Amino acid sequence: MAADSKGKVYIATGGQIQIIDADGNYEGDFKTADGKVFQGVHGMKVRVIGNEEVLLGAMPGKKRVFAVKLDGTVLWQIVGPPKVDGMYAHIKEYNPTDLDVSSDGTIYIVDGYGKSFVHVYDKDQKHLKTFGGKGKEDGKFNTCHNILVDNRSEEPTLLISDRENNRLQLHAMDGSFIRTIDAELRQPCAADIHGDLLAVGELGGRLSLYDKDNKLISRLGDEPSDRAKGNGAKPEDWVEGALVAVHGCTFDSKGDLYAQEWNRFGRLTKYTKVK
């Protein structure tokens, strides 16, 4: 999920991208300029490219990532993995789950459901380098599910959710490993930043909040008795504010925080910023 500067929230479902306002009212489906819907979208972000807000999205099933203006005009797509000998034996091995773009236009794509590589492209979609890959060592990943360019400090960095290793890794923009921020997460799936505040959504039923120095502030929605219900938690069993399986999260322009859960009935929880 993602949010733009005007308060609209974009939610990827199985068949389309839905748009809601800040009060949760459905406003329609997001489509291309020629009326096509986006099916099978996974990670999303809204970023400013060329002084205009753009929706970024990854489509693991279709083996591609895209950038599209909010009016539906497609800017670019990157289809398939980098054409590097020996990296992928077959396109089926490539399943990108998320991407982000830095201020200079550099594109970072995580192959979370594939080989856990991070692929780097320039602003013209030319492949520059690849780092990461499967493993438990520092700088390696087991399902690099989400990637986030962090501009809170003078030197930007990359935050990478290493889901099945239950940790959040900090990398330099060139891909070199800096440190692990938190190794006690419960399958981190998503992350977003508002001001100095970082939020990490966990499939294990929790949101973790960190300050500008990536020090843990608090954990939200942690309800151990409900966590085991996971994807099958029924609406009548939901507890307000208690999270079950966070798969996406985003801040809106006001700093309110949304958590999208991996739930077959579809669940979205909003936390309002109070200070």
N- to C-terminal Cα separation, the chain? 24
pLDDT at position 14, please?
Answer: 78
pLDDT at position 241, please?
Answer: 85
Share of the chain above pLDDT 90, in %: 88
| Mean pLDDT, the chain, integer | 95
Which residue range is the domain that position 147 belongs to?
A: 2-271
pLDDT at position 249, please?
Answer: 98
Distance from C-alpha of 175 to C-alpha of 187, rounded to nearest angstrom? 22
Q: 249 or 225: which carries more pLDDT confidence?
A: 249
SS (HEC) of 177-195:
EEEEEECCCCCEEEEEEEC
pLDDT at position 15, please?
Answer: 83
Residue 77: Cβ within 10 Å count: 14
Q: Would you state the structure tokens that stand for residue 4, as one six-digit string?
A: 């733009």
Residue 164: Cβ within 10 Å count: 17
pLDDT at position 229, please?
Answer: 63
> Which amino acid, one-letter code, is at 54?
V
Distance from C-alpha of 26 to C-alpha of 261, rounded to nearest angstrom? 18
224 in helix, strand or coil? Answer: helix
pLDDT tens per residue, range 50-95: 999 999 999 999 999 999 999 999 999 999 999 999 999 999 999 9
Domain count, the chain: 1
Mean pLDDT calculated for residue range 186-194: 98
Is the pTM higher than 0.85? The answer reads yes
Distances (CA, A) of 29 to 19, 174, 232, 237, 269: 6, 36, 25, 28, 20
For the purposes of burial, counting CB atoms within 10 Å of the CB of 180, is it exposed (0-12), middle (13-18) or buried (19 or more)? middle
pLDDT tens per residue, range 135-177: 999 999 999 999 999 999 999 999 999 999 999 999 999 999 9
CATH number of domain containing 252? 2.120.10.30
Q: Range with the lowest mean pLDDT among 101-110, 149-158, 229-238?
A: 229-238
